[in-house]
Amino acid sequence: MENYSRSLSRLTGESTLLYQEIARNVERTKGIKTINFGIGQPDLPTPKRIREEAKSALDKGFTAYTPALGLDELRSRVAEFLSQRYGDNIVKDEVAITPGAKTALFLAFLTYVNPGDEVILFDPSFYSYAEVVNLLGGKPVYVPIRFDSDRGFYVDVNDVVSRISSKTKMIVYNNPHNPTGMNFDPKLSEELVKISRERNIILLSDEIYDYFVYEGRFKSVLEEEWRNNVIYVNGFSKTFSMTGWRLGYIVARKEVIGKIGILASNIYTCPTSFAQKGALASFDAFDEVKEMIDLFRRRRDVMFSELSKVKDIKVYKSSGAFYMFPDFSSILRNTGLDSKGLAIKLIEDSGVITIPGEVFPERVGTNFLRLSFALGEEKIKEGVERMKIALEKLAG
Ligand code: PMP
């Protein structure tokens, strides 16, 4: 038997990437062309000006290590940008550039979570939160996301408060939300900042989808009194179609950023040098971002109208991110499948990739499949049609 670490044994290994692997196998063995609703990234190229900037940095030989917390000019630019956007006075020392938002989240957990600490997570939520909390010996405590046909998916703050104990170290908040596709009520951001401050709990706020908002006002925790206890995470991946560049950032009090710097220098030394140079140009690429969001809004409308025609599923029109999270409970009941079984069946029978709600990772998701609308309208139509036929066949 291999002598792996106890920490590693606490990981489930579950991830959305697994279903891409299954799909590749189906393509190879059955020759079916798949339609990928499992994808968690925009399908557009990175804006040209960002690519040009990175290329020019490479050509000029900008290929050495940078400071662990990232280039000063990029940290300052992020600070300035967020200050303008949210009417604050955020400074460079309150910003750390990281290799992707995922690493930013990992560092935030590593900074605070001790074995036995409780971390409040929404159910459902991005799979990586629970994995990392478990890795560190912490204990995820789940707040179920509720559903109401008028309001959509929502969080009752009383549910959060009732789960706070003397062991609660952190609350993880993600808005707009993966996987439900909700842009939550602005009051939720306000209340979570307030509760966590009053109860002396860290609020980790993952706002990676902040530009993907189709309904309602988006409220960042940075609009509140955040300095006491908030760790804010965002990144370039989704907004600027830069998932493979691996660039994210953290905003937190200066002392916290100092701790992050110690971790960073021991784990990865620094984010990629020329990628950071490219990211400097992203602040001039908001015309491209706006175009992308308009496109995604149209795709959302198409996916919603197509899914609404599928018998036996219930779908709520998402207001943020690029996911739809329909309820398949009636089909699951009739077929005796769980969401993983159904997702695999759909890949095998129709070549349509979805992500089973169970990946996110507790109970609420078990009745749902997550579908991304980050792909062309024709593909969305064809994918839902294929899914519809496969579901009808399953129903017998
Ligand atoms: N947070 C959430 C909620 C996400 O959905 C993702 C990507 N799927 C990330 C963080 C990770 O982003 P990055 O690619 O910048 O690591």
Q: Which of 204, 208, 242, 268 to mutate to test the pocket of ligand 1 (most atoms within 8 A of CB)?
A: 208
The set of protein residues with a Cβ atom below 6 angstroms from ligand 1 is 40, 100-102, 126, 174, 178, 206, 208, 235, 237, 243, 248
Residue 372 has pLDDT above 80, yes or no: yes
Which atom of ligand 1 lies closest to the CA of 237? 15
Report the complex ipTM: 0.99
Which atom of ligand 1 lies closest to the CA of 125? 3
Question: What pLDDT was estimated at residue 131?
Answer: 95
User: What percentage of the chain exceeds 90 in pLDDT?
Assistant: 89
* 127 CA distance to ligand 1 middle (Å): 10
Whether cis (ω within 30° of 0) applies to the bond prior to 47 is no
Instruction: Give the helix, strand, coil percentages of the chain, each rounded to 5.
Output: 45, 15, 35
Residue 134 has pLDDT above 80, yes or no: yes
CB–CB of 360/282 below 8 Å? no
* 234 CA distance to ligand 1 middle (Å): 9
* 373 CA distance to ligand 1 middle (Å): 16
Q: Whose CA is nearest to atom 7 of ligand 1?
A: 40
* 100 CA distance to ligand 1 middle (Å): 8
Question: What pLDDT was estimated at residue 346?
Answer: 94
The dotted CATH code for 6-45+287-395 is 3.90.1150.10
The full set of domain ranges for the chain reads 6-45+287-395, 64-283
Residue 21 has pLDDT above 90, yes or no: no
Which atom of ligand 1 lies closest to the CA of 235? 15
* 208 CA distance to ligand 1 middle (Å): 6
**Mean local confidence (pLDDT), 320-347:** 95
Q: Please state whether the predicted TM-score (pTM) of the whole model is above 0.80.
A: yes
CB–CB of 147/384 below 8 Å? no
**Is 64-283 the same fold as 6-45+287-395?**
no
**Mean local confidence (pLDDT), 360-370:** 85
- SS3 at position 380: helix
* 277 CA distance to ligand 1 middle (Å): 21
The dotted CATH code for 64-283 is 3.40.640.10
CA dihedral 382, 387, 392, 393 (to 10 degrees): 100
What Rg do the C-alpha atoms of the chain give, in angstroms? Answer: 21
Q: In what order do the strands lie in the sheet with 248-251?
A: 95-98, 248-251, 230-235, 202-206, 168-174, 118-123, 139-144
